[in-house]
Structure 1
């Protein structure tokens, strides 16, 4: 069953955040929120169990459907399609391989009409500035406790590799050596394996953690574990990153590990890594998703 309330609330909060060059008005955010809520209810009624199942067919059906079997007015279709394009942009900002069936629908309509249509809103990726990266590194490496040594290696690994939260939590002890070698094989979304190539800038922190990790008594083979030896969950990882960002005085629209993933991508491009390699490292199926980071240069 689709989480209608949760998805709608998170979407409107995202619209109200500092993600756009030209912020949306309160009235527009309310309109888009209501439209997305109705779409989610429509999809749920149509038998869609998970939001990932939404296809261009469902989008087209919702956008064009009017009352009593008629075709919806053009202005209604415009509001619906604009709302859904932004909604799936929001989902992509957290899960890049999600895809945007609403944008596919809009592009299809443009081709049929023989025109380019209007321009979509310009969304800004949330990333850390250089001084903020330094502050976060300092804060993460400040404590010499087991958790402190772990967190320093953890933050460094995500900044170096750009891995998703689920991928970080899935790393094993053997992957610690892979990190030090600058190559990690990970299983990403859709059970697709990819090779992430990078410079292990935080190798000393990882080496320190591996020494500490090997002294812990646990049967769990996870690379990152709690003080009690249990593997980190995604929720724990989010809490760790959010806490460190707060201690470093960093406040962004995103406060979890995905912020560090975006930052890793921007740092790669800034240091001259080819766009194609960044795409492969992030596991993006479409290079257009990766190219959105280029505005940061």
Structure 2
């Protein structure tokens, strides 16, 4: 690239950086990142760009695609694209461009991080609460039901006494979209709920319908449940990075690993779309390979 086009490109980059520093009062960190992106972009696109008026959406797409091919993380690609969009808006304001060529460029989708699940040993450690205090019995019942049913936190605190059938070991839940579903739970959750109901009257007024009540003699709040779970996780030697969603995710993961039945887990979790369950849960490769070997007619591999 000749020195004249290079100077034209650098001139507007400097004007933009001055605008960020003195008019927008952007942080030095932001200015440095934007400068690095724009300098890199102008070098990479040198053969196409005699000046910024020649900038086209295809150049930006090509640039982002090449960075993606090189393995740059989606979050970093989005930051680069954000810098280019801001710069193009500035050039549009200054009359250098007639439209923003970065507006039509789609940012790459960022992978949703999967919540960490707890393994079975960790869950056994958490649920091994040996205490007959009413609050401890209540908390054990909450945690057992969480892991046994995979309920959302909002669903659990919304439970009323009449929604739990101990004989059938089922709970009727009203989830997202006001949709009702029936979710089964196991013997240990049933026993824990029974133990809690025996002492529930020590905390709950006679006219209170909520299954789980606080020391204030009213329905527990989501924040209270989160706080109690963190407390017991520390008491049981698991640290304080345990939250209700981790129990729900552990339920889903363990159910899928044992059954491989994505549709059933979808119903239990109350997901409207199967794609949500696929993102929300994960299987280790060995289990997937085992299911594949058993199910696919042409999957017979050498012993």
The answer to whether TM tops 0.5 is yes
1:71 maps onto 2:101 in alignment: yes
Corresponding position of 1:172: 160
Q: Give SS of 2:246's match.
A: helix
Matched, 1:290 2:280: no
Tell me by how many angstroms 1:200 deviates. Answer: 4.0
Distance apart, 1:160 and its partner CA: 0.4
Deviations 1:153-201 (A, max 9, x none): 110000001001100000011123x255232221111222222234343
Task: Give the Cα–Cα distance (whole angstroms) in 2 for the partners of residues 154 and 251 of structure 1.
Answer: 19
| Structure 1 partner of 2:195 | 208
Question: Which residue of structure 1 aligns with residue 213 of structure 2?
Answer: 225
1:147 matched to 2:174? The reply is no
1:235 aligns with 223
**In structure 2, what is the equivalent of residue 257 of structure 1?**
244
- Which whole-Å CA distance do the structure 2 matches of 1:200 and 1:33 have between them? 48
Q: Radius of gyration: which is bigger?
A: 2
Q: Considering only aligned residues, what root-mean-square deviation do their CA atoms show, in Å?
A: 3.4
Helix, strand or coil at the partner of 1:231: coil
- Between 281-290 and 164-173, the greater mean CA deviation after superposition: 281-290
Flag the 1:185–1:72 CA change in 2: closer, same or farther, 3 A.
Answer: same
Deviation of residue 137 (structure 1)? 0.7
- List alignment gaps of at least 5 residues for structure 2: 1-71, 93-98, 288-303
**Which residue of the partner structure matches residue 159 of structure 1?**
147
Contact persistence 1:183–1:197 (CA under 8 A): yes
Compute the displacement of 1:224 (Å).
0.4
Partner SS for 1:135:
helix
Q: Deviations over 1:34-78 (max 9, x none)?
A: 689x7xxxxxxxxxxxxxxxxxxxxxxxx9x9533322188xx46
**1:275 aligned residue (256, 259, 262):** 262
Residue equivalent to 2:118:
128
Task: Give the direction of change, closer, same or farther, for the CA distance of 1:149–1:290 in structure 2 (3 Å limit).
Answer: same
Query: C-alpha displacement at 1:271, in angstroms?
Result: 3.2
What secondary structure, in the 3-state scheme, does the structure 2 residue paired with 1:229 have?
Answer: coil
* TM-score of the aligned structures, taking structure 1 as reference length: 0.59
1:269 to 1:28, Cα distance in 2 relative to 1, 3 A? closer
Q: Is the 8 A contact 2:230 2:242 kept in 1?
A: yes
Counterpart residue number, 2:66: none
> Pairwise mapping of residues 184-199 of structure 1 onto structure 2 (< 5 A)?
184-199=171-186
1:35, 1:142 → 2: CA distance?
54
1:251 offset after TM fit, Å?
4.3
The structural deviation recorded for 1:29 is: 9.2
* Distance in structure 2 (CA, Å) of the matches to 1:227 and 1:275: 39
Q: Residues 11-42 of structure 1: CA distance to partner in whole angstroms, max 9, x if unpaired?
A: xxxxxxxxxxxxxxxx9698579689x7xxxx
C-alpha change, 1:73 and 1:30, in structure 2 (3 Å) is same
2:108 pairs with 1:81? yes
Structure 2 length normalisation: TM-score? Answer: 0.58
